[in-house]
Amino acid sequence: MNIFISEKCTVDEVRAWDMSAIRGVRLTRGSSFEPGAHGLALAKLASHVKGELEVQCSFAEPETSNEFETTLLSGAFGISLIRHAKQITFGPSHNPASDKLGGNLARFYRERGGLLGMGQNCSLVCVDPGHSLPPKLRAYARHEDRDFPLDRSGFHQLLSSMAQLLGFHYFLNSSTVSDLTSFVFECFVNSQEHGQSTLSTNSVARQGVRALMMDKVVIKSTTKHNSLSEEMQKYIARSSEAAGGKLGLGLVCMTVADQGDGIQHTLPPDTPNETPIQRFARAFTADVTRKPKGDIKRGRGLSNALSAAHRMRARIEIHSSGVHFVQDFSLEDSEYPQLDVAAIVEDPSTKGCGTVVSIWVPEFESGLDQRELFDRKNLLPVA
């Protein structure tokens, strides 16, 4: 079975991919993903045996950086797809890829410093093992002697540069800056540490692709968002109403995606009978870690991320190798950050795939405080 990736391929479409049955992928120049779907597509490739996919591209083989930039091959999914493929063809005549494809792609990656994309989305792409820390990431490094040389301050600068690429003027300027940076930073560090599979015998295990992605959803009075889920449309409506006409460009979707084993599988079981869902929930508990007990400040990444999402009244969605979780904190009734355990469900469609953590946050005009805007009186259910 072949899959055709259409324009703005949705999360539901990607979730429906049966990777065990897929033998090929067809791309056009217009192939793209809606916000939140790109990371899931990347993670799903982790469950497909490397070197077994046939990739058909309706466009001519890209050679220059500008030519790569106009196709899906320039993103994290496209790069991983090329690494998985046993055969790639281009154009209506299905011409086999030239010997220069790999070199041209590598040159494009180096020219962009690993920060790829513009317009509607951009991604910091980490390619293991050669470019686990892309040049754009190292540019903000302060501790070159460490495995992960970036602190929160440098990471915030990186996020700001990505937001500017997408045309956001006020994003990260509110009092929630540290909350958002903390959430994405902790998730990204977790991905760096656990994003390579140790369970799979698949050769992709140590040659995976990880990414920090940023997408935008422009919100205007005339804009339709029918392609998004009903829950997402209601979140947009609540954000717009709370802003009182002071909404900025729109909505930011930030995603950290990898091709590892999943959150629950990187954490040792607490008891012999602990289920994957129970282990997933425990991963969000403070001081839970698979690192040695003597390590300082370990085991608080996911719990800190949960607290940040609660304070921001954000919406998060996680796919984690057979587990699916969605929680909209703009509707959270609890005074304290609590994981909605009932929202953690088994998801056979992503079994064997990596981890994808997405957070959706609205951009408000300068001077507005998201915590004040997301007051309970402004968050009544939207009919």
Least confident of 20-29, 95-104, 105-114, 150-159: 150-159
| 327 alpha-carbon distance from chain centroid | 16
What is the rounded average pLDDT of the residues 101-115?
95
Residue owning tokens 């994290």: 76
Mean pLDDT, the chain, rounded, equals 81
User: Side chain identity at 172, as an amino acid letter?
Assistant: L
pLDDT at 149 over 50: yes
Q: How confident is the model at residue 222 (pLDDT cuts 50, 70, 90)?
A: low
User: Pairing state of beta strands 315-320 and 355-364?
Assistant: antiparallel
3-state DSSP assignment of residue 263:
helix
Least confident of 33-37, 214-218, 241-245, 267-271: 241-245
pLDDT in tens, 260-301: 888 888 888 888 899 989 999 888 776 554 444 434 343 445
| 278 alpha-carbon distance from chain centroid | 23
Q: Which pair of structure tokens corresponds to residue 124?
A: 């910091």
Q: Which pair of structure tokens corresponds to residue 126?
A: 């980490």
Maximum average pLDDT range among 118-132, 166-180, 363-377 = 118-132
Least confident of 173-182, 188-197, 215-224, 347-356: 173-182
Least confident of 20-24, 174-178, 245-249, 337-341: 174-178
Could you count the other beta carbons within 10 Å of the beta carbon of residue 345? 10
Residue 260's pLDDT is what? 87
Contact 14, 41 (CB under 8 A): yes
Residue 210's pLDDT is what? 94
pTM of the model: 0.86
Q: What angle do CA 189, 194, 197 make, to 5 degrees?
A: 150
Least confident of 135-144, 151-160, 166-175: 166-175
Contact 266, 312 (CB under 8 A): no
What is the rounded average pLDDT of the residues 202-221?
76
Q: What angle do CA 216, 156, 286 make, to 5 degrees?
A: 100
3-state DSSP assignment of residue 318:
strand
Residue 74's pLDDT is what? 93
User: Side chain identity at 158, as an amino acid letter?
Assistant: L
pLDDT in tens, 335-360: 667 778 889 999 999 998 889 999 88
pLDDT at 182 over 60: yes
- Among candidate residues 55, 69, 158, the one with its CA nearest the CA of residue 108: 69
- Cα 59 from Cα 78, distance rounded (Å): 14
What is the rounded average pLDDT of the residues 222-232?
68
Q: How confident is the model at residue 128 (pLDDT cuts 50, 70, 90)?
A: confident
Residue 333's pLDDT is what? 61
DSSP for 122-184, written as a single string? EEEEEETTTBSS-HHHHTT-S-TTSSS---HHHHHHHHHHHHHHTT-SSTT-STTHHHHHHHH
